[in-house]
Amino acid sequence: MSEPQDSAADKLAARVASATPEPLARRVRGLSDRAIAWLFISPTIVLLLAINIFPLIWTIYLSFTNYKANRINRPIEFIGLRNYERVLTDTDIWHTLQVTAHFLCWTMTLQVVLGFGLAWLINKQFKGHGLWTTVILLPMMLSPAVVGNFWTFLYQPQIGLFNYAVSFVTGIPPSSFQMIGDVNLAPWAIVIVDTWMWTPYIMLICLAGLRSIPDYIYEAAEVDRASKWRQFWSITLPMVLPFLMLAVLFRSIENFKMFDLVVELTSGGPGSVTELASINLKREAFEKWRTGYSSAFAIILFVTVFGAASIYVKALNKVKQR
Amino acid sequence: MRGVSKHFGEIPAVDHLDLTVGNGEFVVLLGPTGAGKTTTLRLVAGLEKLDAGTISIGGHDMTTADPAVRDVSFVFQQYSLYPHLSVYENLAFPLRSPAHPHSKSEIRRRVTAIAEMLRITHKLDNRATQLSGGEMQRVAIGRAMVREPQIYLMDEPLSSLDAKLRADLRLELKRIQQDLGATLLYVTHDQIEAMTMANRIGVIDQGRLIQVGTPREIYQDPCNLYVASRLGQPAINVIPPGLIPRFAVPPGTASIGARTEHMHISRSVNGSGQGKVEWIEHLGDQNHLHVRIGDHQIITLVDPETPMSRGDDVDIALTGPLFFDAAGNRLRGTGDG
C-alpha cells in the first residue's frame, strides 16, 4: 500500500534536486569556490608583485652592486656594503637629511598647532562654520603641482601677494626680500606652503576627535569644579590626542617623502638649501645615474621611515589604551 | 527655589516651581518623561540658565552663578565618566580642583573610603570604559559622593540598571545618605524608588510641582487624580460614582479613586454580583485580579490563595476611597460605604 506513495515522494525529491541550481562555480567551469576567489584576486596580486614587491626586491639587490642604469652593457659587479658605506659617510646626504628634518619638524609643529586651533574654533559651532570648514579644506584638495606653481607667483618679489601681505604688516618694501631666492628664507618658504596646504588635514582629523567628546563630559567636569583651562588639559587634549597622533603619523610619512611640491617651488635650491632627501635621491638616480648608490640610499630611507613609524605606532597604541 | 521657570522655545519646561530642600533631606522629584524633572536639576546645578525666579543654595543666591561656585555634585543619567581615566582618577577628579586643593594623601584616603562604601575597590585601576553598567553607575555616584557639597543632585541614576542591581543600589544609596547626613535632590520616574528613599516627594507634571509631601501623605492623601495615579501598584482604579450601587458620594464627585485597600471584594452569594472576574494574573507572592463591572475594569491585589477564579460573580464594597471633581481635584469628603 505504501510503495506507490514512496516512489511519488522520491520523484518529487528528484524534481526538487534537479531544479535547485548547483553552486555557481561548479556549474560554469568545474572550479571550486576557492578557485574562483583566486581568479578574482589574482590580477591585483600580479600587479602588486610587478610594481611594488619586485621593484623593492630589485632595489635591494641593486644596492649591493655598482650598476648604472645609463650604461646597460657594463657588467654588473657585486660590491657588498660599499654603497651603504658611501651613503652614510657622504656629507651631502647628511645635509639633505638635515634639510628634511628641518622641514619635517617645522611643518609638523605648525600644522599641529594651527590645525588643532582651527578645529577647536570650528567646533564652537558658530554661524557659518560649515562654509568655513569647506573653505579651509580647499588647499588640501588641490594638486601639489598646482599649489607649487601658485605659490611661486605668490612669492614673486615684484608682483607676489605674499610679499605685499608681509610688507603690509611689517612695513618693509615687498621687493626687498625673495622667499624662494634667498638662502635663509627658502627653507621657510617650503614650510609655509606645506603648512598652508596640509593644515586642513590635521584640522579635519582633530575636528573628528573633538566631535567625539560628548557634551555631558564637559557638564560633569563643570559640576566637578574644573575650570575651562583644566577641562582643556585634562579632558579635551587627552581625548583628542590619539586622533592628533594618527594625523601626525600620516603627515610625517608623507612629508619625509616630500617631493612634488618642493620641486615645483624651489627644485631644491637655491644651492641645495631646500634639497630634501627624496629630491637628492632623484638627482643621484636619474641625473647622476648612480643607480646602485641611490638604491642603497632609498633602502636606508625606507628602513628609517619604517622603523620610526613602528616605534610611533607603539606609542600611539599606548596612548589609545590609556 | 522660588518661582523658577525655564522655557525651551515656546514650551515651558519648568513653570513657576517653588521648592525648598532642607538640610540632610532626601527629596525625590517624581514625574513622567518630559515633565521637567531633569531640567529642574540642571537649573539647580547651573547647567541651564533660568528664565525667571531665583535659586539659592546654602543661603546664598546662586541664580546666575557658574556650576563650579555652586558647590553641588551631579550624578548624570548616562554615567558621564571620563572615559580616558581610570576609576581612581575619575573619583579623584573633583578633588583635584586647583581652586580647592586637597593633599595627595587626603585624596587617596577619600577615594578609597568611597570605593569601599560602593564596593568597587577592586576596580580602582580599571579604565572607566572597562566596567559593567552597574559598576559605572557606582563610580558615577562615587564621584559625586567624594566631595561634600551643599547638595547632591541625582538624575535617574538607577534607571539604566537591571532590576536586581537597582534594588541593591536603592538600599545602598539610602544607607549612604543617612550615614553622611547628606542633602539630596533626586529625580526619577520610578514610584518605588521615590517611595522607598524619599523623606519628601515632589510630584511634577508639565513643569509644575503638583504636590509635595512625605511618601505617606502623597500616597494616602493625594491632592488630585494625577498624583493619585502616579503612585500605587497596581495603579489606582478610577470609576464613575454610579458604578457601585448603594454608595453615597460627596456632591460634585466626577470620579472615585479606589486602591486595593479601599475595596472589599467577595464572591456574591446569590449570583447577583455587580462584577465578574475576568482574569487573574499570578505574580508569585500576590495576584492581580481583573474585575469587570459594566464597561469598567478594576485591577486589584488579592491573596494568591484566593478562592476566586475566572468567571466568578463578585460583590464590591468600598471603604474610604478618594473622590475627585470633574477637573480631577480632590474632594475632601467622606462617602459612606
Boundaries of every domain in chain A: 85-321
Q: What percent of chain B has pLDDT over 90?
A: 0
Cα–Cα distance between B82 and B1 in angstroms, integer?
31
Q: What is the pLDDT of residues B168-218, one digit of tens each?
A: 888 888 888 888 888 888 898 888 888 888 888 888 888 888 888 888 888
CA distance A222 to chain B (A): 6
A221 CB within 8 Å of a chain B CB: yes
Contact status, residue B80 vs residue A216, Cβ threshold 8 Å: yes
- pLDDT score, position A196: 95
CA distance A315 to chain B (A): 16
B100 CB within 8 Å of a chain A CB: yes
Cross-chain Cβ contact A225/B100 below 8 Å: yes
In the predicted model, what is the mean pLDDT of residues A199-218?
92
A235 CB within 8 Å of a chain B CB: yes
Cross-chain Cβ contact B67/A234 below 8 Å: no
A224 CB within 8 Å of a chain B CB: yes
Q: Evaluate if residue A29 carries a pLDDT over 50.
A: yes
Question: 3-state SS of chain A?
Answer: CCHHHHHHHHHHHHHHHHHCCCCHHHHHCCCCHHHHHHHHHHHHHHHHHHHHHHHHHHHHHHCCECCCCCCCCCCCCECCCHHHHHHHHCHHHHHHHHHHHHHHHHHHHHHHHHHHHHHHHHCCCCCCHHHHHHHHHHHHHCCHHHHHHHHHHHCCCCCCHHHHHHHHHHCCCHHHCCCCCCCCCHHHHHHHHHHHHHHHHHHHHHHHHHHCCCHHHHHHHHHCCCCHHHHHHHHHHHHHHHHHHHHHHHHHHHHHCCCHHHHHHCCCCCCCCCCCHHHHHHHHHHCCCCHHHHHHHHHHHHHHHHHHHHHHHHHHHHHHHC
- Chain B residues touching residue A220 (CB < 8 angstroms): 74, 76, 80-82, 143
Cross-chain Cβ contact B72/A219 below 8 Å: no
Nearest to B45 among A223, A234, A239 (CB): A223
Question: 3-state SS of chain B?
Answer: CEEEEEEECCEEEEEEECCCCCCCCEEEEECCCCCCHHHHHHHHHCCCCCCEEECEECCEECCCCCHHHHCEEEECCCCCCCCCCEHHHHHHHHHHCCCCCCCHHHHHHHHHHHHHHCCCHHHCCCEHHHCCHHHHHHHHHHHHHCCCCCEEEEECCCCCCCHHHHHHHHHHHHHHHHHHCCCEEEEECCHHHHHHHCCEEEEEECCEEEEEECHHHHHHCCCEHHHHHHCCCCCCEEECCCCCCCCECCCCCCEEEECHHHEEEEECCCCCCCEEEEEEEECCCCEEEEEEECCEEEEEEECCCCCCCCCCEEEEEECCCEEECCCCEEECCCCEC
A230 CB within 8 Å of a chain B CB: yes
Cross-chain Cβ contact A216/B80 below 8 Å: yes
Q: Evaluate if residue B9 carries a pLDDT over 70.
A: no
Q: Evaluate if residue B161 carries a pLDDT over 80.
A: no
Task: Give the residue among B89, B83, B68 at the shortest CA–CA distance from B146.
Answer: B89
Task: Give the residue among A104, A119, A14, A100 at the shortest CA–CA distance from A274.
Answer: A100
- pLDDT score, position B157: 84
A126 CB within 8 Å of a chain B CB: no
Q: For chain B, where do the domains classified as CATH 2.40.50.140 start and end?
A: 237-331
| CA A270 remoteness from chain centre | 26
How far is the CA of B216 from the CAs of A48, A187, B38, B124, B200, in angstroms?
A: 78, 80, 24, 40, 9
Residue of B nearest to A214 (CA): B80
Residue of A nearest to B78 (CA): A216
- Chain B residues touching residue A235 (CB < 8 angstroms): 82, 84
- Chain A residues touching residue B100 (CB < 8 angstroms): 225
Provide the number of CB pairs (under 8 Å) joining chain A to chain B. Answer: 61
Q: Per-residue confidence at B286, pLDDT binned at 50, 70, 90?
A: confident
Nearest to A235 among B82, B98, B143 (CB): B82
φ, ψ at A264 (rounded to 5°): -65, -35
CA distance B195 to chain A (A): 28
The CATH-assigned architecture of domain B2-230 is 3-Layer(aba) Sandwich (3.40)
- Chain B residues touching residue A217 (CB < 8 angstroms): 80, 82-83
Q: Evaluate if residue B334 carries a pLDDT over 60.
A: no
A225 CB within 8 Å of a chain B CB: yes
Q: Which amino acid is at B74?
A: F
Q: Which residue has the higher pLDDT, B40 or A108?
A: A108
For chain B, what is the mean pLDDT?
Answer: 81
- pLDDT score, position A322: 66
Q: Per-residue confidence at A53, pLDDT binned at 50, 70, 90?
A: very high
Cα–Cα distance between B168 and B79 in angstroms, integer?
18
For chain A, what is the mean pLDDT?
Answer: 87
Cross-chain Cβ contact A223/B82 below 8 Å: no
- What is chain B's Cα-based Rg? 24
A216 CB within 8 Å of a chain B CB: yes
In the predicted model, what is the mean pLDDT of residues A204-230?
89
Cross-chain Cβ contact A230/B72 below 8 Å: no
Q: Per-residue confidence at B337, pLDDT binned at 50, 70, 90?
A: very low
Cα–Cα distance between A73 and A69 in angstroms, integer?
9
**Domain boundaries A85-321, corresponding CATH code:** 1.10.3720.10
- Chain A residues touching residue B72 (CB < 8 angstroms): 223
- pLDDT score, position A42: 94
How far is the CA of A52 from the CAs of A49, A55, A69, in angstroms?
A: 6, 6, 19
Cross-chain Cβ contact A222/B67 below 8 Å: yes
Q: Evaluate if residue B335 carries a pLDDT over 50.
A: no
- pLDDT score, position B232: 79
Cross-chain Cβ contact A219/B83 below 8 Å: no
CA distance A226 to chain B (A): 6
In the predicted model, what is the mean pLDDT of residues B2-28?
72
- pLDDT score, position B8: 55
B84 CB within 8 Å of a chain A CB: yes
Residue of A nearest to B86 (CA): A322
Nearest to B74 among A217, A223, A322 (CB): A223
What ipTM did this prediction achieve?
Answer: 0.75
CATH 2.40.50.140 is right for the domain spanning B237-331: yes
Q: What is the pLDDT of residues B216-228, one digit of tens each?
A: 888 888 888 888 8
Q: Which amino acid is at B143?
A: R
Q: Evaluate if residue A115 carries a pLDDT over 60.
A: yes
Identify the residue whose cell numbers are 515633565.
B35
A238 CB within 8 Å of a chain B CB: yes
Mutation target to probe the B interface, by most B beta carbons within 10 A, among A223, A230, A243 is: A223
β pairing state of B208-213 and B200-205: antiparallel
